[in-house]
Amino acid sequence: YNAVMWAVKSGVTKGTSATTFSPNAPCTRAQMVTFLWRANGSPKATGANPFTDVQAGSYYYDAVLWAVEKGITSGTSAVTFDPNGICTRAQAVTFLWRAAGSPAPKSMNSFADVPADAYYAKAVAWAVENGITSGTGGGKFSPDATCTRAQAVTFLWRANGSPAVSGNAAFSDVATNAY
């Protein structure tokens, strides 16, 4: 609830309608990068667009270009970003970790489903150390699982220090004791 409230009040995202947030809906790659970009002040990107599937005028255009410019993402290939693709939990924490400057974790995690040589291993360890995630239970992180909209804004809220929020959400699908 606090993460969703923070995201809405700080301009990171809006609901999917005037009365819903759709917390369990999949977060797309475009949404995740846009949430991160907005949380960083929506800076103007100056680089060229390397992607054929990111069109000028799309809501995520500047966000994706900023993320490429900052080394947060290089896309799913040299010429594609896959904006409508589902963002996995591994991709979400990797975007956050790279946005934070890719700091070296003090120790590696012990999740059974995070191989030490995975591209996201250091990001997951950093996220655990910083209280951004504690996994999905049973000693697992579930790196390939879909990152939901609620998980995306919760990761981002925690990465920003879990700032206090006040007021009420007008979302019928976000319980006050959730997230």
Q: Specify burial of residue 5 (Cβ count, 10 A radius: 0-12, 13-18, 19+).
A: buried
pTM: 0.92
pLDDT tens for the chain, 179 residues long, are 889 888 988 889 888 988 899 999 999 999 999 999 999 999 988 889 999 999 999 999 999 999 999 999 999 999 999 999 999 999 999 999 999 999 999 998 779 999 999 999 999 999 999 999 999 999 999 999 999 999 999 999 999 998 888 777 678 888 776 66
Report the distance separating Cα 147 and Cα 24, nearest Å.
9
- Amino acid occupying residue 179: Y
Report the distance separating Cα 2 and Cα 73, nearest Å.
27
